[in-house]
Amino acid sequence: MERLLVLVRHGQSEWNRQNLFTGWRDPDLTERGVAEARAAGRELRRDGYGFDVAFTSELIRAQHTCALILEEMGLSDIPILRERALNERDYGDLSGLNKDEARARWGDAQVHAWRRGYDVRPPGGESLKDTAARVLPCYVAAILPRVMAGRRVLVAAHGNSLRALVMVLDGLTEAQVPDLQIRTGVPLVYRLNADTTVASKSVLEQDIDAGR
């Protein structure tokens, strides 16, 4: 039994490119983001991975990434389940603001705490702790049972929804969270033990120019 779980942050979005806080706003992928998603699919196919089911959020950048990965793998016909719980953290009043302008207004330390801290909420938004409070029940109720039943699962989501999940999978502490980076379009491949703990983890680096 494989017990395979692969996590992928969406490819670069239009607002990533513009250095804007995105949250629940819904920009699509850039040309580079499309290339990142396709490269992820090619790398997964090249390394012999397959999937039986995919999960994604209700936001187009994650859905588009998921569809492109599966297209590259020849798996466009597998079930794709959309879960609001997998949405990016809500940045509240910061959504749409340029990150450099936010630093100039509130200071580097405050903006870093909002972006990377565990329990610090931006104005009107969610902390990573809040995001984890919706991501982890979804993982336990919907994603993990499929993995443990031997179904190969792809999750295409967002930087912070995946940070919340990786924090638990990797056994990270709140103090380690600020250093946790989830790169766009780079698959994180987990294999789980029979007791749901992580047996192995690998990061599939990829060349977005290969095969274009």
Catalytic residue among 83, 88, 126, 158: 88
d(CA 191, CA 152): 10
What are the residues whose beta carbons fall under 8 Å from the beta carbon of 41, sequence distance 6 or more? 68, 69, 70, 71, 72, 73
d(CA 150, CA 165): 20
d(CA 35, CA 186): 12
158 is catalytic: no
Question: What b-and-e string marks burial along 144-163, b requiring 16 or more CB atoms within 10 Å of the CB?
Answer: bebbbeebbbbbbbbbbbbb
SS3 for 54? strand
d(CA 156, CA 81): 10
SS3 for 91? coil
The CA radius of gyration of the chain, in Å to the nearest whole number, is 17
64 is catalytic: no
Catalytic residue among 10, 43, 72, 83: 10
The residues assigned a catalytic role are: 10, 88
